[in-house]
Amino acid sequence: MSRLYRSLRVVARWSLGIYFFDIQASGQEEIPEEGPLIFAANHPNSLMDTVVLGTQTERQIQYMAREGLFHKSPIVKALFNHIGVIPIYRPDDGQMERNVYSFEMAYEALEEGSCIGIFPEGTNSPDRQVRKLKTGTARIALATEARNDFELGLKVQPVGLNFEDRDRFLSSVLIRFGEPIDVREYGELYARDEREAVQALTDRLEEDLKSLAMHIEDSRNRQLVIDIHDIYGNELARDLIGDLNLNLDLRPLTHKLIDRARAADGPRPDLEDRFTLERYIAQAVDYYQKKDPGMVARVRMDIRRYRDHLAQVRLRHQMLEEGVELTGRRREALKMTIYALGLGPVAVWGAINNAIPYSAVRFVVRRTEDEAVVAFAGFLSGLLGFPLFYFLQGWALWTLTDHSLVGVIIYLVSLPIAGFFFLRWWRQILAYRDRILSRTLFRTEKNLLDTLNRERLSLIETFEELKEEYFEQWKRQIQDQHAPNGILSTGSAELPTETAIVDVDADEGDDEDDSPSQLEQTAN
């Protein structure tokens, strides 16, 4: 690993630890420590995918990237060339013949035992969906082995990148490394029919990616799966997994302190558990979409109506699910008043001194038209913008005062800490406001809350019935396949039946329009 790549990787790991609430990876023990390797990953989040993947392995990755990225700036071009990024030309570039040279670079890198990274979908994929793969990855892998009489030992390792919310600051990421595919297995088939071998390897890779990354077959059901998980996830987790595991936080102390300041220091559930639940829900929704699409449409409308009713009274589902404690209000109000007023000046200091770089980052994000690039635009602009502005502030303080180095250092250190503290302070104020609103509703609007509870319980009852029906058909399917011990494989975990940058070679469907009736009319 070159010094520049290692340095960039350290900066990226530290920065991603601030940008995301949590990053977890599984299957890293499957990564070959040496020898030629192709990482083939799904592509949900544009350039952010390359940054996230590059921080999860000790091997230096030479990405294959669209040639147009080399022309963003001379600095980018020099950086790409220095770390070994391989350009790929699209048909609209008018230079497709130059891909012969690019493929040769890939062959030589692999023959030297290096690692390259490819996103076989060829373009950014919709959220929670894997596009049909291009054949470029398989063609490169098989051609490389063919040049070496299928004795090189090249492996293709599928990687699933799963973003909890790819556009949101302080969300979570799960990276799942699959079992490497030994390309030599396709030697005999390649000798008989090159095209068939390429397609066979591509099909296997696509199947692996769909098991490692969240894949919802029908894009119209993407939000439905998320909503069902939010409403029914806790009950389903207790049935299928039991108590959700909490991970031991082994991150550096600096990240823990930053999390403490920004109110992101809560428990970190195992993202594999969440992935298992979402995958199970997605499979069930796909099943019912084929069996009874009208029923799926009705459930979608019921959920939307419930969500809209919650929004009308500005109540979160979690508040309704957990209830609100109505005692100790005066003491809590006094504590919150002291907290808001006593620490308010520190929060205001953080807001004032971080307002300009925050506004600049917000401007860049809002001007980013490509949805899949939003996260990277925010990440990169923040990574560059905040340190630059802090430097300018420190330089101004240095020149306008008596050149006190200690004073400038103390001032600069206070800026990010105070900025993160403002996030925590503001979130605490908003959370208290929500509790006040919820208490008011629980005391004065009993009819409204009864209606919401009936809607919530009705949805859960529906989910329970559908779950039992789905389990029954699943049991029959497994019995037909003579599965031992009644174990059902979801592709990511085993569930017992008794319980419930790289282009080498969609538009989302709109949900039905549903205008919900006013909650007040329903309650009355």
* 86 belongs to a structural domain: yes
Q: Are residues 147 and 288 in the same domain?
A: no
Q: Are residues 163 and 36 in the same domain?
A: yes
* 378 belongs to a structural domain: yes
Q: Are residues 29 and 155 in the same domain?
A: yes
Q: Are residues 56 and 106 in the same domain?
A: yes
* 246 belongs to a structural domain: yes
Buried b (16+ CB within 10 A) or exposed e, 301-334: ebbbbbbebbeebebeeebbeeebeeeeeeeeee
Q: Last residue of some domain: 429, 444, 459?
A: 444
pLDDT the model gives residue 158: 97
Q: Are residues 33 and 51 in the same domain?
A: yes
pLDDT the model gives residue 74: 67
* 505 belongs to a structural domain: no
Q: Are residues 285 and 224 in the same domain?
A: yes
* 258 belongs to a structural domain: no
Q: Last residue of some domain: 401, 423, 444?
A: 444
Q: Are residues 153 and 23 in the same domain?
A: yes
pLDDT the model gives residue 247: 52
Q: Are residues 306 and 175 in the same domain?
A: no
User: What are the C-alpha distances in Å from 352 to residues 348, 359, 419?
Assistant: 6, 11, 9
Q: Are residues 435 and 337 in the same domain?
A: yes
Domain range holding 358?
Answer: 328-444
* 257 belongs to a structural domain: no
* 377 belongs to a structural domain: yes
pLDDT the model gives residue 95: 63
- 3-class DSSP state of 270: coil
Q: Are residues 30 and 113 in the same domain?
A: yes
What CA–CA distance (Å, rounded) separates 163 from 191? 40
Number of domains in the chain: 3
Q: Are residues 435 and 479 in the same domain?
A: no
Per-residue pLDDT of the chain (524 residues; tens, 9 = 90+): 778 788 888 888 888 888 888 889 999 999 999 999 999 999 998 888 988 999 999 899 999 877 666 655 566 667 777 777 888 876 665 566 677 888 898 999 999 999 999 999 988 888 888 999 999 999 999 999 999 999 999 999 999 999 988 877 778 899 999 999 999 999 999 999 999 999 999 999 999 999 999 898 887 888 899 889 888 887 787 777 665 454 545 445 444 554 554 445 555 667 888 888 888 898 889 889 888 989 999 999 999 988 888 887 777 666 666 555 544 566 767 777 887 888 888 889 888 988 898 888 888 888 877 666 777 778 888 888 888 999 998 888 888 877 778 888 888 888 888 888 888 788 778 777 766 766 666 666 667 777 888 888 899 899 988 988 888 887 777 776 654 554 444 443 444 433 334 444 434 344 444 444 443 443 43
User: For residue 328, which of 425, 428, 439, 446 has the smallest C-alpha distance?
Assistant: 439
pLDDT the model gives residue 312: 76
Q: Are residues 122 and 18 in the same domain?
A: yes
pLDDT the model gives residue 517: 42
* 318 belongs to a structural domain: no
Q: Last residue of some domain: 418, 444, 470?
A: 444
